[in-house]
Amino acid sequence: MGLRQRFFFYLLSPYRKVRRSAKEGRIKKAKLIFNPLAGKGREAKPTLRKIKVGLKKRKPELKMDVSFSREQGDATACAREAVRQGYELVIAAGGDGTINEVVQALARTKVILGIIPLGVGNIFAQEVGIPVDVDLACEVLSFGEVERVDLGKMGEHHFLWIAGVGQDAQVVQALDEVSKEAMTTYSYLRLALNQLRKIHPMQVKVQVDGEVVEQRAIMVEVGNAATFDDGKRVRVRPRESINDGYLDVCIIGRFNAISVFRGVYRFFSGHHNCYYDIKYLSHKYYKAKE
């Protein structure tokens, strides 16, 4: 995977002191991409009606058309068509998957992304401070700021917050089970021990701004977001800027029983940058391969 140049998209977010888009305040035409299955299919019709009412009472001049995303790929297709038709704002009403699909179409365009979080995790919305309450999210869409947000790119796929290789998928799946209870030392110990039998170390080579890091590792994470789970539980990078042009690379190296427990604990508690088994890099351009 690699970041060959700076990718970005424009986002409506809450009341930030950032450089504004020239389009702000003049948005007259919006496309709402609504996922009726988001949040385990919770009352889709009343939710859609609430969105329409919430935006209409705040921005009566806004002309908004609605498209539905029911299957994988629908949101990307709808967003691409919206870009082609000249919509100034595309609103993703759904979970992180819906948002991610819409961003694939809006990347490197000047079409603004709006978010109404309707999913279970709503990771990215919480990362940028967008409320999960529908009415408050409509408030942000009506009166928020427009900022340019960085994107990573892995192959042909853009990613909003984190992409990785190695054991991250297994760790996240196990963490989902642990996160339903209190995050105690015992919980982390059980998680680490359960993952020991699944660990397959790999030789990785990471090139960062011309500097090469080559070592054995169990996981490499590249991120633009500070959090990995729901915005509260798992903090994987100390910096919180999503528009400074930098991505962070985290390499988890040693993989014996003790270091797995200590490394996983520190990684998911946000203290990995001070742990000698974990390399933490922050640069604009990188390439990584296994």
Over the stretch 54-73, which tens digit does the pLDDT of each residue have? Answer: 999 999 999 999 999 999 99
Can you give the pLDDT at residue 42?
63
Structural domain including 171 reads: 162-289
pLDDT band (50, 70, 90) for residue 91: very high
Counting beta carbons within 10 angstroms of the beta carbon of residue 90, is it exposed (0 to 12), middle (13 to 18) or buried (19 or more)? buried
Can you give the pLDDT at residue 120?
78
Model-level pTM? 0.75
Co-location of 98 and 199 in the same domain: no
CATH code of 217's domain: 2.60.200.40
Rounded to whole angstroms, how far apart are CA atoms 54 and 206?
A: 47
Can you give the pLDDT at residue 196?
62
Q: How much of the chain is helix, strand and coil, in % rounded to 5?
A: 35, 30, 35
As given in the structure block, the two tokens for residue 112 are 């603004």
Residue labelled with tokens 């109404």: 116
Contact residues for 74 (Cβ-Cβ < 8 A; gap 6+): 67, 68, 101
Is residue 290 pLDDT above 80, yes or no? no
Co-location of 187 and 106 in the same domain: no
Contact residues for 50 (Cβ-Cβ < 8 A; gap 6+): 134, 135
Cα angle 197-276-183, degrees, rounded to a multiple of 5: 55
Can you give the pLDDT at residue 106?
95
Co-location of 168 and 34 in the same domain: no
- Dihedral sign, Cα of residue 44, residue 46, residue 48, residue 50: negative
pLDDT tens string 229-259: 544 445 555 555 777 777 777 777 766 656 5
pLDDT band (50, 70, 90) for residue 86: very high
pLDDT tens string 149-160: 888 887 788 888
The residues facing 116 across adjacent strands are 93
From 159, 188, 216, give the residue that closes a domain.
159
From 141, 159, 177, give the residue that closes a domain.
159
From 159, 187, 205, give the residue that closes a domain.
159
Co-location of 209 and 126 in the same domain: no
Cα 167 to its chain centre, rounded Å, is 19
pLDDT tens string 28-51: 899 999 999 887 656 899 999 999
Co-location of 199 and 101 in the same domain: no
Count of domains for the chain: 2
The residues facing 164 across adjacent strands are 221
CATH code of 147's domain: 3.40.50.10330
Is residue 99 pLDDT above 60, yes or no? yes
Cα 183 to its chain centre, rounded Å, is 23
Co-location of 139 and 178 in the same domain: no
Q: How far is CA 242 from CA 8, 10, 52, 152, 160, in A?
A: 10, 12, 29, 11, 9
Co-location of 145 and 180 in the same domain: no
> Could you tell me which residue, 272 or 167, shows the higher pLDDT?
167
pLDDT band (50, 70, 90) for residue 105: very high
pLDDT tens string 164-173: 777 665 655 5
Can you give the pLDDT at residue 276?
41
Co-location of 185 and 154 in the same domain: no
pLDDT tens string 216-226: 877 787 877 65
Between the two ends of the chain, the Cα-to-Cα distance in Å is 9
Q: What are phi and psi of 206, to 5 degrees?
A: -115, 125
Co-location of 108 and 203 in the same domain: no
Can you give the pLDDT at residue 98?
95
Cα angle 62-66-67, degrees, rounded to a multiple of 5: 150
Average pLDDT for residues 96-100, to the nearest whole number? 92
Can you give the pLDDT at residue 22?
38
Can you give the pLDDT at residue 161?
77
Rounded to whole angstroms, how far apart are CA atoms 55 and 140?
A: 10
Amino acid (one-letter) located at 15: Y
Co-location of 152 and 263 in the same domain: no
Co-location of 155 and 180 in the same domain: no
Is residue 282 pLDDT above 80, yes or no? no
pLDDT band (50, 70, 90) for residue 190: low
Report DSSP state, residue 73: T
Amino acid (one-letter) located at 13: S
Is residue 198 pLDDT above 80, yes or no? no
Co-location of 115 and 21 in the same domain: yes
